[in-house]
């Protein structure tokens, strides 16, 4: 049999998570005497076998052990129908599934509001109670979601001590922690007729968030490598970085069970840590957990709303080393979204020393006995010598940063932690909470909340060269390979958002940042999107764009893209994307803040690389534009 100019193409999908394929192409030239097909097939088989063997070893060596999940990577559940398909929204969940928190004004609730010290403003407390009394007959014992309840409060006008008041004024005068306390006291317990508490139900198959599925599937696959193929991977999850440590327990329990894990809740939080420390000199301290929840979490009535979880946590508290024993048997640890300040108090002692639990986590990670996943703001605790807890917009550049040496210096009471995180100026801990991300500073919701200024400023002030920003619909898997010539760290990106990297070194030195008339030195920006990856080795960044993305054409007329207010929500991202899509030479954004003019200048040069692509994700066509080495500069002129 003769083969003429035959092209044989063998494709092997060697990276399921990245979705990339490597192609081996063999060109077989014209052969007058034909070709020995048996010999040909044998050679192909040997070649392919060697190829797969080599790449199998590589895949095993670089299995990710750290996963970062943006805040919006969630699934369809009985408490969150927004992530459900239209059919599921129509059908709904069965009646025994817990719904989102519901609120009702009852006589008992009004009594609680009068008796419990939920606010530090006595007159405002009485105004709020009077407002609810006026609303009560109109609500007719109906149950409302938080959003609808706030709307009803804000719309109501009423009289208090012969003075005309507006509900919206009363609401706006409450501090954030007071609003949360108010809802704690009004929340309705959801139970069956028997009195048993309803549990949250998750429906993975009806979820319309494909980004979530890809991210958590990759996490499961990595955990399965740790566990081996003889049993299910075991995971423990922590929900205690939130002021309500029980709110997401049912959700993650059901989610991880349905993903194929053997899941177990690890009931650590700042209240639990306080009880464990106190147990050393008071054996009855675990019985005071409810009191510690009010003090350390600013959280009321958890025992009433979640009696089974409260009882379970008290039981674990009374046992010796119960939490560490659960961790030891696990292949993966997941830390849910929450406050970095509350996280500090969960994992550190009042002396500032690491808890035994944190020491064990770090030990198991070092020995590759466990992989770690973090969600949302809990990720901030990973940063090298920093943990960002507050700051909004460009104004962080105009005001001094609030820098705390540790969580103990920042706050001791839960309400103080919440108040501190509500500040608009930049605030961060000048220390590392979790010693697992030595490559720089990291932040979340970077594009949606325009957090680039606070991220870059933190990096400069803490002498970190690299700053990393995760978008809320994005996940990143991180793997580390060690060698004599230096560690190689790979970041693999999934989801419909993106992953920012800022290099704050210019000509080998840290860029300057002055507080008066700010003309920041140029820094380099990178933005990776779905299925892109990046390696960091010896301070050098190397980017590998997804194979389905193409080179965008450079505009020979080199126009300048302009934008106003480039540091409002999504605007920094949009300005970069316009530069990426158009092939323009420059993008310029101007605006003013507090009467001060500023400029953001983005510039392409010979080192800039960009790729565009379209892919179907989350039931829609996703237009992406990734780039590397765009020069960026912020100028604020007083």
Residue-wise DSSP of 444-507: ESTTTTT-HHHHHHHHHHTT-SEEEEE-TTEEEEEEEE--TT--EEEEEEEESS-EEEEE-EET
Residue 433 near residue 343 (C-beta atoms within 8 A):
yes
Q: Residue 84's closest CA among 172, 207, 221?
A: 207
Section 400-412 average pLDDT: 93
Question: In terms of pTM, does the model score above 0.95?
Answer: no
| Alpha-carbon span 223 to 379, nearest angstrom | 19
- Assess whether pLDDT exceeds 60 at residue 61: no
| Percent of the chain whose pLDDT exceeds 90 | 59
- Assess whether pLDDT exceeds 60 at residue 55: no
Q: Under 8 Å CB-to-CB from 178, ≥6 apart: which residues?
A: 118, 119, 120, 121
Instruction: Give tens-digit pLDDT for 176-202.
Output: 889 999 999 999 999 998 889 999 999
Least confident of 100-104, 124-128, 426-430, 579-583: 579-583
User: CA geometry: angle at 403 spanning 402 and 404, to 5°?
Assistant: 120
> Across the chain, what does the average pLDDT equal?
85
Task: Name the packing angle between helices 307-318 and 270-278 (round to 10°).
Answer: 40
Q: How confident is the model at residue 478 (pLDDT cuts 50, 70, 90)?
A: very high
- β-partners of residue 427 are 390, 402
What DSSP line would sit under 65-105, residue for residue?
-EEEE-TT----BTTBGGGB-HHHHHH---TTB--S--B--
| Alpha-carbon span 324 to 170, nearest angstrom | 46
Predicted pLDDT of residue 603: 87
Domain ranges of the chain: 6-61, 66-75+211-227+238-260+311-540, 100-186, 551-637
Instruction: Give tens-digit pLDDT for 340-353.
Output: 999 999 999 999 99
| Alpha-carbon span 622 to 289, nearest angstrom | 47
Section 455-465 average pLDDT: 93
- Assess whether pLDDT exceeds 50 at residue 303: yes
Residue 423 near residue 49 (C-beta atoms within 8 A):
no
| Alpha-carbon span 148 to 460, nearest angstrom | 43
Q: How confident is the model at residue 1 (pLDDT cuts 50, 70, 90)?
A: very low
- β-partners of residue 626 are 611
Predicted pLDDT of residue 33: 41
Burial class (CB in 10 A: 0-12, 13-18, 19+), 629: middle
224 or 600, which is more confident? 224
- When the candidates are 3.30.470.10, 3.40.50.880, 3.30.830.10, 3.30.450.260, the CATH number that belongs to 66-75+211-227+238-260+311-540 is 3.40.50.880
């Amino acid at each position: 049999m003769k083969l003429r100019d035959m092209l044989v193409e063998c494709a092997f999908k060697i990276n399921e998570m990245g979705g990339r394929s490597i192609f081996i192409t063999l060109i077989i030239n014209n052969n007058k005497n034909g070709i020995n097909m048996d010999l040909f097939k044998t050679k192909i088989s040997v070649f392919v076998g060697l190829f797969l063997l080599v790449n199998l070893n590589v895949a095993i060596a670089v299995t990710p052990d750290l996963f970062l999940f943006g805040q919006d990577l969630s699934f369809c559940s009985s408490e969150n129908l927004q992530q459900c398909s239209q059919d599921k929204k129509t059908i709904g969940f069965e009646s025994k599934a817990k719904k989102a928190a519901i609120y009702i004004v009852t006589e008992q609730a009004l009594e609680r509001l009068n008796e419990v010290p939920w606010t530090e403003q006595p007159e405002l407390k009485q105004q709020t109670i009077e407002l609810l009394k006026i609303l009560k007959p109109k609500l007719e014992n109906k149950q409302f979601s938080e959003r609808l309840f706030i709307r009803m409060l804000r719309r109501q006008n009423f009289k208090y001590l012969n003075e005309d008041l507006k509900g919206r004024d009363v609401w706006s005068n409450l501090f954030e922690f007071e609003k949360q306390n108010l809802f704690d006291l009004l929340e309705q317990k959801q139970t069956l007729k028997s009195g048993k508490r309803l549990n949250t139900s998750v429906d993975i198959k009806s979820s319309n968030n494909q980004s979530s599925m890809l991210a958590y599937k990759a996490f499961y696959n990595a955990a399965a490598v740790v566990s081996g193929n003889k049993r299910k991977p075991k995971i423990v999850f922590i929900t205690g970085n939130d002021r309500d440590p029980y709110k997401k327990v049912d959700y993650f329990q059901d989610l991880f069970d349905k993903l194929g894990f053997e899941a177990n809740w690890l009931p650590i939080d700042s209240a639990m840590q306080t009880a464990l420390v106190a147990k050393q000199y008071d054996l009855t301290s675990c019985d005071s957990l409810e009191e510690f929840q009010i003090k350390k979490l600013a959280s009321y009535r958890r025992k009433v709303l979640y009696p089974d979880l409260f009882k379970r946590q008290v039981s674990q508290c009374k046992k010796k080393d119960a939490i560490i024993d659960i961790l030891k048997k696990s292949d993966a640890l997941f830390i849910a979204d929450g406050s970095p300040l509350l996280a500090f108090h969960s994992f550190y002692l009042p002396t500032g020393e690491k808890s035994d639990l944190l020491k064990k986590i770090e030990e198991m990670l070092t020995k590759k006995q466990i992989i770690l996943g973090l969600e949302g703001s809990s990720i901030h605790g990973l940063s090298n010598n920093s943990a960002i807890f507050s700051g909004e917009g460009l104004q962080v550049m105009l005001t001094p940063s609030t820098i705390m040496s540790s969580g103990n210096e920042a706050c001791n009471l839960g309400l103080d932690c919440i108040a501190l995180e509500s500040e608009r100026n930049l605030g961060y801990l000048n220390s590392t909470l979790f010693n697992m991300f030595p490559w720089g500073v990291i932040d979340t919701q970077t594009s949606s909340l325009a957090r680039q200024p606070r991220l870059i400023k933190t990096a400069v002030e803490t002498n970190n060269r690299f700053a990393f920003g995760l978008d809320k619909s994005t996940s990143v898997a991180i793997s580390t390979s060690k060698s004599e010539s230096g560690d190689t760290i790979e970041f693999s990106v999934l989801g419909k958002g993106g992953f920012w990297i800022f290099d704050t070194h210019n000509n080998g030195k840290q860029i300057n940042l002055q507080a008066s008339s700010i003309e920041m030195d140029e820094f380099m920006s990178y933005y990776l999107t779905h299925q892109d990856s990046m390696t960091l080795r010896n301070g050098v960044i190397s980017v590998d764009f997804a194979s389905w993305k193409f080179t965008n054409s450079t505009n020979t007329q080199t126009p300048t893209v302009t934008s106003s207010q480039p540091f409002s929500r999504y605007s920094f991202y949009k300005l970069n994307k316009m530069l990426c899509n158009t092939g323009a030479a420059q993008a310029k954004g101007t605006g003013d803040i507090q009467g001060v003019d500023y400029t953001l200048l983005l510039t392409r040069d010979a080192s800039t690389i960009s790729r565009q692509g379209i892919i179907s994700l989350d039931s829609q066509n996703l237009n992406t534009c990734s780039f590397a080495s765009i020069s960026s500069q912020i100028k604020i002129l007083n």
